[in-house]
Amino acid sequence: MKGITWDKFIEIGEDVYAKTGKYLLSMDGDGNDLIYMMLQAEGESQFKDGKPYITENAKLVEVCEKIVEMSQKNVCYLTNSWSDYTDQSILGDMVAGVMNGNWIIPTIEQVSENSGKWEITTLPTLGGGEGYASNGGSSLYVTSNCSNPELAKKFLAYTFGGSSATYDKALQDHLSF
């Protein structure tokens, strides 16, 4: 499923649901995580130049349309709460997968029956290709309200040596630091 479009993902999801009765994807419907990650995978954000970028954001509209389509076609189960998300998606037997930050792994690992059934992969994109996104603390930023942005940038350059290798390895190996 690497490098596919959301349309192909939806096609696969419809087939999975028809054959198994399981949704291909689940997401907490109370939050904005799925929209956020899908936008990131497209190289977009809901912010532009430090301001909300909503009404003129064509990618945001496309992403929202795909989420609606996935929900209508039984490809994505949008849960009613975080508890419903973990109960149905991870602890239950209702969905085939989730899209989330690497911090969800311990929740998945709590269920011994999940062993060997889950895999980490990239996100689909609107045009095809491997989409990448972070969700909930797996990115490092120097924010606009930082009192010493130059020192923060030097720290990041020092700790990661100007290379993404350490960061990439930490994400792939599920390390927290």
pLDDT digits (tens, 9 = 90+) for 26-51: 988 887 889 989 998 998 988 888 88
62: its two tokens = 């496309």
The per-residue pLDDT for 63 is 95
Which structural domain, as residue segments, surrounds residue 173?
140-177
Query: Are residues 166 and 92 part of one domain?
Result: no
102: its two tokens = 């690497």
Torsion (CA) 45, 50, 51, 52 in degrees, nearest 10: 20
126: its two tokens = 């609107």
Share of the chain above pLDDT 70, in %: 88
Q: Cα–chain-centroid distance for residue 163?
A: 23
Q: Where are the beta strands (DSSP E) in the chain?
A: 25-28, 47-48, 51-52, 76-79
Residues 48-63, mean pLDDT to the nearest whole number: 91
The per-residue pLDDT for 107 is 84
C-alpha closest to that of 118 among 131, 129, 137, 105: 105
Q: Does the pLDDT value for residue 122 go beyond 60? A: yes
Query: Are residues 169 and 129 part of one domain?
Result: no
Query: Are residues 96 and 129 part of one domain?
Result: yes
15: its two tokens = 């087939």
Query: Are residues 108 and 81 part of one domain?
Result: yes
- Rounded distance, CA 64 to CA 39, Å? 10
Confidence (pTM): 0.76
Q: At 28, is the secondary structure helix, strand, or coil?
A: strand
Q: Where are the beta strands (DSSP E) in 57-142?
A: 76-79
How many independent structural domains does the chain possess? Answer: 2
Q: Report the 10 Å Cβ neighbour count for 137.
A: 10
Query: Are residues 103 and 43 part of one domain?
Result: yes
Query: Are residues 86 and 162 part of one domain?
Result: no
